[in-house]
Amino acid sequence: MTRDENKCKVDAMIQENRRIKQRDIALKLGISQERVHHIIETLNYRKVCARWVPRQLTDPMKGHRKTVAQELLNRYRLKGDDFFKNIATGDESWVHHYDPENKRQSMEYRHPGSPSVKKFKTVPSAQKVMLTIFWGARGVLYMEFLAKGSMVNSDRYCATL
């Protein structure tokens, strides 16, 4: 088989199955993987990953998002930079809970012959707590630690807000 024939066959195989592996092409054509790789490069193909998105939006959902975005843009045009001062956002994250003690707080009286006190670097305890925090242009607006046994869901958000 000539090089041009191999090139055409590789191109056809990729057109048929965009996820085909170089090893499979090499086996079907009886050529080396290195040769397949070179042919793919000359055809200007690049292997790219699909972009992950949280969910696929329907046309009505896209329309609603566009409407909301247009309303926000109109509010900005009316109020100018003051509009940004009224925006708040939030997030939640797991935080390690411990009560650190600095060197000065650990000071205590000792006799000259007493053994020296060792201060160890504090490490997070095994206790983790979910922190929900809201902030805006003026800084932190509200923060709350999730009670043990509680869950982050819409009911909790409604109660928080």
Residue 8 in this model has a pLDDT that exceeds 80: yes
pLDDT at 92: 86
Instruction: Give me the long-range contacts of 5-12 (CB less than 8 A, separation at least 24).
Output: 6/31, 6/35, 6/39, 7/39, 7/42, 7/43, 10/36, 10/39, 10/40, 10/43, 11/43
The helix, strand and coil proportions of the chain, stated in percent and rounded to the nearest 5, come to: 45, 15, 40
Higher pLDDT, 106 or 92: 92
Rg (CA), the chain: 31
Q: What is the spatial distance between Cα 89 and Cα 144, in angstroms, rounded to a whole number?
A: 14
Residue 104 has pLDDT above 60, yes or no: yes
Place of tokens 């969910």: 55
Say whether pLDDT at 85 is over 70: yes
**pLDDT confidence tier of residue 34, bands split at 50, 70 and 90:** very high
What is the rounded average pLDDT of the residues 38-53? 84
* Selected residue with higher pLDDT from 66 and 54: 66
What gap in Å lies between CA 17 and CA 11, rounded to an integer? 10
CA distance 39 to 14: 11
